[in-house]
A and B are shown apart, each in its own frame.
Chain A
Amino acid sequence: MNERDEQGRKRARYSPWILLGPGMLFLFLFFFFPLYTLGRMSLSYRPSRFANPKFGWEWDNFSHAFSQYGSQFTRSFVYAALATLLALIIAYPLAYVIAFRGGRFRNILLGLVVVPFFTNFLIRTLAWKTILGDQGTVVGFLRDVGILGPTGTLLRTPLAVIGGLTYNFLPFMVLPIYVALEKIDPRLIDAARDLYSNTWRAFRKVIVPLSMPGVFAGSLLVFIPAAGDFVNAYYLGNAQTSMIGNVVQDQFLVQTNYPVAAALSFVFMAIVMVIVVIYAWILGTEDIA
Chain B
Amino acid sequence: MSASSGTVTSTGGRIGRRLVDLAAGLGLVYLFLPIFVIVAFSFNKPIGRFNAVWQEFTLDNWLDPFKDKALVDALKLSLEVAAIATVIATVLGTFVALALVRYRFRGGQAVNFLLVLPLTAPEIVLGASLLTLFLEPHLVLINHNFALGFTTIVLAHIMFCVSYVALTVKARLRGFDWTLEDAAMDLGAPPTRTFMRITLPLITPGILAAALLSFALSIDDFIITYFVSGPSTTTFPIRIFGQSRTATPPQINVLASMILFGSIIVLAVGTLFGQRRERRLNQAT
Contacts and interface: CB of A to CB of B under 8 A. Distances in A.
Establish whether A and B are touching in the complex (CB under 8 Å).
yes
Nearest to B28: A112
A20 B123 CA distance: 24
Nearest to B140: A33
Given A20-B111, A30-B130, A122-B237, A115 B159 contact: no
B256 interface: yes
Contact of A228 (B38, B98, B122, B275): B122
Contacts of A276: 120
Interface string B115-152: 11110111111101111110110101100000000000
B16 A200 contact: yes
Nearest to A111: B267
Interface in A223-278: 224-225, 227-231, 235, 245, 248-249, 252-253, 258, 261-262, 265, 268-269, 272, 276
A261 B128 contact: yes
B41 A130 contact: yes
Interface stretch (A56-64, A92-100, A142-150): A92-100
B208 to A, nearest CB: 16
Contacts, number: 264
Interface string A178-189: 000000001001
Interface string A84-104: 000000110110111011110
A119 B259 contact: yes
Contacts of B111: 20, 24
B31 interface: yes
A115 B112 contact: no
B223 A231 contact: yes
Interface stretch (A11-19, A65-73, A208-216): A11-19
B17 to A, nearest CB: 8
Contact of B236 (A24, A120, A130, A245): A120
B187 interface: no
B12 to A, nearest CB: 8
A103 B31 contact: no
Contacts of A113: 28, 31
A114 interface: yes
B49 to A, nearest CB: 14
Contacts of B27: 90-91, 93-94
Contacts of B125: 38, 228, 265, 268-269
B259 A100 contact: no
Contacts of A130: 37, 41, 52
Given A107-B271, A253-B226, A128 B136 contact: no
20 contacts: A17-B99, A17-B105, A20-B100, A26-B158, A30-B130, A34-B132, A34-B133, A38-B129, A38-B132, A115-B35, A115-B263, A122-B241, A131-B33, A135-B53, A199-B8, A220-B120, A235-B244, A268-B122, A268-B124, A289-B112
Interface of B: 1-2, 4-5, 7-8, 10, 12-13, 16-17, 20-21, 23-24, 26-28, 30-35, 37-38, 41, 52-53, 91-93, 95-96, 98-100, 102-103, 105, 108, 111-112, 114-118, 120-126, 128-133, 135-136, 138, 140-141, 155-156, 158-159, 162-163, 166-167, 216, 220, 222-223, 226-227, 236-237, 240-241, 244, 248, 252-253, 256-257, 259-260, 263-264, 267-268, 271, 275
Q: When A and B form their complex, which 10 residue pairs have the shortest distance between CB atoms, in order from nearest?
A: A228-B122, A127-B34, A34-B129, A118-B263, A19-B99, A186-B1, A93-B23, A23-B92, A97-B24, A38-B129
